[in-house]
Structure 1
Amino acid sequence: MTATQTVGDYDPFDPAVMADPMPYYRRLRDHDPVHYLQKWDAYALSRFADIWHVLEINDGTFVASEGTLPAATVLARHNDGPVPDPPLHPMPFHANFDAPVYDEVRRCTAAPFRPKAVGTLAERIRALANERLDELLPLGRFDLTQDYGGIAAASVVCQLLGLPTELAADVLATVNAGSLAQPGQGVEVAQARPGYLDYLTPVVAHRRAATDTGALPIVDNLLAYRLPDGSALSDTEAAVQLLGVFIGGTETVPKIVAHGLWELSRHPAQLAAVCADLEANVPVAREEMIRFCAPAQWFARTLRRPFTLHDTTMRPGQRIISLLASASRDEREYPEADSFIWDRPIPRLLAFGRGQHFCLGAHLARLEITILVTEWLRRVDHFAIDEAAASRPPSSFQWGWNSLPVEVC
């Protein structure tokens, strides 16, 4: 942000904000924590405590009827009052619904992400990490985000969704391409970007026709689900409900792992401290990596009831934009928030959201990050990021290091 730019210049789709939102977040936190965006008829919330409070409210005051990440074309339509849930058919991503539809469909997809089920994946994830390292380390130079964590995370997603793991690289490339956005636009996760359903709809169709006894709970539960009107989901509608797993499970973890390892390499004393006891210290460092490196910037809700915050009353139909990435850098919650401190106490964290829409894959993400970082530090004594070649494309949402070339020796 230049000297002439102000809080009023903040817009999540502005090219300067998409290139580097952090200076804008600081100005918002310090000077206008409930910032009105007239163009979008929305309020940007930037402080940790405010967002923590708002996201815990689950009484129908805030809903995601317009999507949790509405594009600019959606926000440009100002509402005259409360926005109802969308029609049941064709059914969009279930996060757009309030209870009971949201809760019921989420339960259909939740089984593989509960702690006990996630724990059974540990050895598979460890094997994937070491398979990647066996292939990559002899090369001496490769992309830490895409080639290491990216392929490993995408392989796990393929396994959970019943896709051949040989498709991991293609899935990763498809998700990365779908998350890019041009200035003035956004990424609407409630709508399938080109190519997503080409993977997911055939999986659902196969399970519907399957005569084998093998189970794929995340799909089987969706096929068995009945909406409040008694109707079932079509193949495409069931596939759309898998988008959160397909996108979130593929994209976020690799960026946190690569960026987190980069931060450790930039702080040799911290790196040495973590390496002194990997089993004990990596889970601690993981939480700081999530706080400091998580790429998701914001999620939105639409009001169905009036709500007042900091003497500002928001009316039904208006939106709030919860700036999670700003909350993670709020010094009111985290002293020296712009510094990476591997053993920072983190009693509260918002990177996975909070409340009704808390990230379904949080347990899996933590396990993947722990294993990928541990196996890397166990096998790699010296590494250096080529900062000049690193790439962090402008984005209104997933503002993360898509490419971090690394050299190992």
Structure 2
Amino acid sequence: MSATDVPAFSIDDPATVADPYPAFAQMRAAGRPVWNDGLGMWLAFRHADANAVLRDRSLGRVWRARVPEDAWETFNWLHADALLENEPPKHTRLRRLVAAAFARGNIDARRPRIQELCADLLDGCASKLAETGSFDAIADYAEPLPVLVIADLLGVPDDEIGPLRPWSQAIVKMYEYDRTPEDDRLAEVACREFAAYVAELVERRRVEPGDDLVTHLAQVEAEGERLTAHELAATVVLLLNAGHEATVNGFGNGLVALMDHRDQWDRVVADPWGLAATAVEEMLRYDTPSALFERTALADVEIGGATIREGQRIAALLGSANRDPEVFSDADSFDVGRDPNPHIAFGAGIHFCLGGPLARLEMQQSLPMLAERFPSLELTGTPVKRSTFVLRGYDTVTVTA
């Protein structure tokens, strides 16, 4: 396909937002990254190209402070001091300190607690089902679970969990490209309130340390270095945002796929724990919750035959890469037993999602427990999609059993 043959691609197109996969297939056919005037950046749609974008050290995260800076003060430092927005050597230092705290927290040890939370939420779903004949798989199950898990991991008391999800949703809206001034205002308000809460929680944990991640982050030291106050707050906010957004959307997207492919749901019901691992990976691949991850060229670099000039941006289209038929056989089919499954839903390289293992653990418990509790689960009505492109998910998925 020549440069003049490349079809137009717009993330503002409602049809593309609703179902981007036909457009992704057209763009992959170009055989290389494509420049997009609307976004002012290169877009990498093929698996090989997107993977290269994530791994090539000539491409990095370059934080650009929002202006006017006095209006964006908290938002700016929360991102400038966050692991996700930094490159080595600062990224190396932050990741070493955070990884040490994670190791002390022992993610896998949360398995029994996750199962306990799932059971409690499923009891609530059963009650709603008995009362009304249906429940919302997002609001009643997929959404509260990861918030409860990450709050438990961080050491947030149960009676203080309420604002976490709204704060997170307001902040991650800033990753979209169709924001309104009101979205911007709400994001900065959320940043200020969230940062103030984290600072207060850290001070409490310094006085009364617990076996939680905030305590460990406040105490952790590596090679004589510790997290600064801003770095600690930025890390906690990032962990909350990244630690549950992907899980909520990944589970919701995957559940809709399972409901739309009844033969695959029946396979999960027949062997819920045996298929849990491969089914979760396929849920993440088939309708990837994070569609796009952006990098900036630190020097001229060639990706898939396209030259990205220093200072230009390029985005890896993760959802497109995960449907690339050059890597996945029957890429548009949904197969809960797919193996191997080299998707890049959690990214790759040094910015591989720190919360990925926790998200996998949550989904590998919540899916089989749902299948065991409600084997005849089915949709009632049409699921309501979120109207966002970068973070793909559903607002409502009403089900019955």
Match of 2:234 in 1: 240
C-alpha separation in 2, matches of 1:63 and 1:100: 12
- 3-state SS of 1:120 partner: helix
**8 Å Cα contact 2:32-2:305 kept in structure 1:** no
- 3-state SS of 2:335 partner: coil
Q: For residues 192-246 of structure 1, give each alpha carbon's deviation from its aligned partner in whole angstroms, at most 9, with x where no partner exists.
A: 6532452443333342353224254445435767999x99733x55322223211
Determine which of 135, 151, 156 is the counterpart of 2:124: 135
- 3-state SS of 1:308 partner: strand
Aligned residue type for 1:94: L
Note if 1:281 corresponds to 2:275.
yes
Q: CA RMSD in A?
A: 3.4
Determine which of 210, 234, 239 is the counterpart of 1:214: 210
| TM norm structure 2 | 0.83
Change in Cα spacing, 1:90 to 1:130, as seen in structure 2 (3 Å) is closer
Q: For residues 260-283 of structure 1, give each alpha carbon's deviation from its aligned partner in whole angstroms, at most 9, with x where no partner exists.
A: 233223333322222222221121
Change in Cα spacing, 1:220 to 1:27, as seen in structure 2 (3 Å) is same
For these two proteins, the number of residue pairs brought into alignment is 382
- Percent identity among equivalent residues? 24
Change in Cα spacing, 1:42 to 1:287, as seen in structure 2 (3 Å) is same
Match of 1:159 in 2: 152
Q: Which runs of 5+ in 1 are unaligned?
A: 1-5, 74-86
Aligned residue type for 2:118: A
Match of 1:66 in 2: 63
**8 Å Cα contact 2:78-2:234 kept in structure 1:** no
- 3-state SS of 2:340 partner: coil
Determine which of 104, 110, 113 is the counterpart of 1:121: 110
Change in Cα spacing, 1:361 to 1:186, as seen in structure 2 (3 Å) is farther
C-alpha separation in 2, matches of 1:199 and 1:41: 31
Change in Cα spacing, 1:337 to 1:115, as seen in structure 2 (3 Å) is farther
Change in Cα spacing, 1:40 to 1:150, as seen in structure 2 (3 Å) is closer
**8 Å Cα contact 2:279-2:337 kept in structure 1:** yes
C-alpha separation in 2, matches of 1:273 and 1:202: 44
**8 Å Cα contact 2:60-2:297 kept in structure 1:** yes
Q: For residues 168-197 of structure 1, give each alpha carbon's deviation from its aligned partner in whole angstroms, at most 9, with x where no partner exists.
A: 4542244334444776349999x9653245
Q: For residues 17-64 of structure 1, give each alpha carbon's deviation from its aligned partner in whole angstroms, at most 9, with x where no partner exists.
A: 434432321111012531012344411000011222332223xx1110
Note if 1:54 corresponds to 2:53.
yes
Match of 2:71 in 1: none
Quote the offset at 1:344 in angstroms: 1.5
Aligned residue type for 1:119: D
| TM norm structure 1 | 0.82
Aligned residue type for 1:328: N
C-alpha separation in 2, matches of 1:263 and 1:90: 34
Aligned residue type for 1:394: S
C-alpha separation in 2, matches of 1:202 and 1:349: 36
**8 Å Cα contact 2:28-2:46 kept in structure 1:** yes
Match of 2:141 in 1: 148
Aligned residue type for 1:201: A
Note if 1:338 corresponds to 2:332.
yes
C-alpha separation in 2, matches of 1:88 and 1:99: 18
Q: Which runs of 5+ in 2 are unaligned?
A: 69-75
C-alpha separation in 2, matches of 1:186 and 1:314: 30
Aligned residue type for 1:205: E
